Amino acid sequence: MATSTKERGPLIRTQIGVVTSDKRDQTATVEISYKVRHPKYGKYLKRRTRYHVHDPNNEAGLGDRVEIAHCRPISKTKNWRLVRVIEKSPGEE
């Protein structure tokens, strides 16, 4: 039984990150930074994850803060889609 995205609501995994590349057509690279504690020494280490995001209208620009959601695979590396642009980069206004 297929349900639409709107009916599922909060079950969809979403994350917030920053666009690091918007050079490709309908694709943006979004970086999500986080800190993780070292298991032995307790020091906090910076880590990052990069996602290739489907952006059909090319809305996202370099440095924009965006919300992305997990979806079905669109290509070999793209299985996230752009939900909305939260904050535009100060250089683009």
Tokens of 16: 């917030």
H helices of the chain, where? 5-8
Q: Cα separation of 13 and 20, whole Å?
A: 21
Tell me: pLDDT of 3 over 60.
Answer: no
So what's the architecture of 12-88 in CATH? Beta Barrel (2.40)
Full-model pTM: 0.82
pLDDT tens readout for residues 18-64: 999 999 999 999 999 999 999 999 999 999 999 999 999 999 999 99
Task: Determine the average pLDDT of the residues in 7-22.
Answer: 84
* Higher local confidence (pLDDT), 1 or 82: 82
Q: Is the CB of residue 32 less than 8 Å from the CB of residue 16?
A: yes
3-state secondary structure of 88: coil
Confidence label for 9 from pLDDT (cuts 50, 70 and 90)? low
Backbone conformation region of residue 46, classed left if phi is above 0, alpha if psi is from -120 to 50, else beta: beta
Question: Domain-by-domain residue ranges, the chain?
Answer: 12-88
